[in-house]
Every structure is written in structure tokens, then in C-alpha cells.
């Protein structure tokens, strides 16, 4: 599977086009062995063709660091964009897409030899994995796909709608709307699970979560500190709900970092509980 989702690849192609001319891009296509396949009278047409090849075809191309996928080559070139190109919406989409793919763009300092002798320090942008690459349960695109399948299988349409809106906002780099929809998604699928398991009370979400802890056998497990009748004890489910409703900003934490954390923990949690419900419903 490609390291990057389709939106990331399209955004990378747009960023590359923002600081390269038609002729520059034609040279890149020759280097990458796809000359003649992206001819278009407009730059947008060339970008679309390039992104389509990178997203749809499993091809490797030659770069300064050796053979990599075309999608990787595009992303690696895009993150070297000059500052003026980083003010465009395409850069914001690229960063958001990379975070969803489990990467972030960081600055590193490298030491190189100066032409006048001695050494010089150069700051370059590079990709860094946010989480271990060899833990499949942390693959968020995989998590999203499984969650969507489970939501559709059990008819959780309200939660499905909130997840779609959350992911769409996140991929546009609109952190606050994404956070709001993630809160609604988390609350909604737990509500819908409670309804499916026989809850007949009012529409209070806290009451529905309590129901999931007290029914027999319980859905939320007190042995795992997911839920407790005693509100003074640690409770993961309510604690996460509280974490999704903070008040005000916090020094040292960017909107992007907070939104990414919320997306990651909400997807991993949803997969756990939706898998559990799926097993129970069989």
C-alpha cells in the first residue's frame, strides 16, 4: 500500500507545481521516467495527471536518495517548498494529510563542507514517523476503513456522518471543526451501541454510557477501568469524553498537535469498541 493517502499525494503535487514552472516539471517527469504522460496545456491538468499516476500506479522512480515510490518522491520534493509556497491552502492540506498518514514535517540540521573550506550547518525539512511503523494497529487509514465498515454494517448512520465530517475537516487543516465532529462521533457511536443493546431511557448520553457499564454482561468493562459506578474511580470512557471538551488553549501545544492526538486516540478507541460490539452482535 502507498505510504500516503490520495489527498496527501494531490496536495504534494499542487505544492510542487506552486514553485516549479511547466518546464521544471517536465524535467522532473523525465527524471522520474514518466515523460509524455503528464502533457497538458494547463498546470492544473499536469498536476492532476501527475497525482493520478502517483496514486494509482505502483511505480518507483529515481531520486537523490535512490529508488522510491513516485508518491514518496512527490512528497519529499513538496516539503522542500519555499516559504511563499507554504502560505497556500495546498500546503495546509499536505501537512494535514501527512499527519493522517502518520508523518510530520520536521526541521533537522545537517553539517556539510563549505566551498571555502571548513563546515557549514544547513537546516532542511524531512519526514518523521509520528508512531512506530511496525505496529499495524496504529495504521490510521486502516483503522478508518475498518471503522467505516463496522458503522455501515450495523447502521450507525449518525456516527458515520460525524466521522465523515471530522475527517474532511481534518484533511482541510480545519482543526476546530474536526475536533467538534470527533466529539460528536465518539458520543454518537456509544449512544447507538447502547440503543442497539436495549437502552430504553431518555436521550442523556451519560445515562447511555452508564447503561453500557451496568447491563449484563457489561459492554464497558470496570476491570479495565473503562467505566465504574463509583464516579470517583478512574474511568477511561468518561475521561476521554472530558479530554475532548477542554476549555481554552494550552501553552506549548499547537492546534495541529492537539487535533492529531484527538484523531489518533478517537480512531483507536472506536475500533476497539466497534469490534467488541460486532462480536457481541454475531
Domain ranges of the chain: 6-101, 136-281
Joined together, the cell numbers standing for residue 66 give: 535512490
- pLDDT reported for residue 143: 76
| CA gap 132, 138 in Å, rounded | 8
| CA gap 111, 195 in Å, rounded | 61
Distances (CA, A) of 208 to 126, 215, 231, 265: 46, 11, 15, 21
191-222 pLDDT, tens per residue?
Answer: 999 999 999 988 899 999 999 999 999 999 99
How much is the average pLDDT of 36-50? Answer: 86
Q: What global pTM score does this model have?
A: 0.70
Cβ atoms of residues 127 and 105 within 8 Å: yes
- pLDDT reported for residue 276: 95
To which H or E segment does residue 28 belong?
helix 22-31
Per-residue pLDDT band for 102 (boundaries 50, 70, 90) equals: confident
Cβ atoms of residues 140 and 267 within 8 Å: yes
- pLDDT reported for residue 136: 52
- pLDDT reported for residue 195: 95
Joined together, the cell numbers standing for residue 123 give: 537546516
The count of residues in the chain is 282
How much is the average pLDDT of 261-266? Answer: 89
Provide the CB-side half-sphere exposure for 164 (13 A, CA): 10
Please count the other Cβ atoms lying within 10 Å of the Cβ belonging to residue 200.
7
67-95 pLDDT, tens per residue?
Answer: 889 999 999 999 999 988 888 889 988 98
Nearest of 212, 238, 252, 256 to residue 97 by alpha carbon? 256
Nearest of 38, 146, 125 to residue 83 by alpha carbon? 125
Amino acid at each position: 500500500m502507498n505510504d500516503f493517502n490520495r489527498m496527501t499525494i494531490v496536495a504534494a503535487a499542487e505544492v510542487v507545481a506552486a514553485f516549479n514552472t511547466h518546464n521544471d516539471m517536465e524535467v522532473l517527469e523525465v527524471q522520474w521516467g514518466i515523460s509524455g504522460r503528464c502533457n497538458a496545456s494547463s498546470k492544473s491538468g499536469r498536476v492532476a495527471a501527475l497525482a493520478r499516476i502517483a496514486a494509482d500506479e505502483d511505480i518507483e522512480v529515481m531520486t537523490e536518495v535512490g529508488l522510491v515510490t513516485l508518491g514518496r518522491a512527490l512528497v519529499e520534493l513538496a516539503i522542500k517548498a519555499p516559504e511563499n509556497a507554504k502560505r497556500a491552502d495546498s500546503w495546509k492540506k499536505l501537512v494535514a494529510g501527512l499527519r493522517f498518514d502518520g508523518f510530520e514535517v520536521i526541521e533537522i540540521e545537517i553539517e556539510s563542507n563549505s566551498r571555502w573550506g571548513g563546515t557549514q550547518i544547513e537546516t532542511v525539512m524531512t519526514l518523521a514517523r509520528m508512531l512506530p511503523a511496525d505496529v499495524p494497529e496504529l495504521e490510521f487509514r486502516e483503522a478508518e476503513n475498518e471503522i467505516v465498515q463496522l458503522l455501515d454494517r450495523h447502521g450507525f448512520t449518525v456516527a458515520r456522518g460525524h466521522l465523515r465530517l471530522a475527517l474532511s475537516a481534518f484533511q482541510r487543516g480545519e482543526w476546530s471543526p474536526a475536533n467538534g465532529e470527533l466529539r460528536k462521533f465518539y458520543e454518537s457511536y456509544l449512544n447507538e451501541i447502547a440503543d442497539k443493546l436495549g437502552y430504553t431511557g431518555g436521550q442523556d448520553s451519560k445515562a447511555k454510557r452508564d447503561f453500557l457499564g451496568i447491563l449484563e454482561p457489561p459492554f464497558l468493562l470496570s476491570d479495565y477501568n473503562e467505566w465504574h459506578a463509583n464516579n470517583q474511580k478512574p474511568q477511561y470512557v468518561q475521561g476521554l469524553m472530558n479530554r475532548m471538551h477542554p476549555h481554552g488553549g494550552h501553552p506549548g501545544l499547537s492546534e495541529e498537535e492537539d487535533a492529531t492526538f484527538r484523531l489518533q486516540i478517537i480512531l483507536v478507541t472506536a475500533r476497539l469498541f466497534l469490534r467488541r460490539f460486532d462480536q457481541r452482535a454475531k
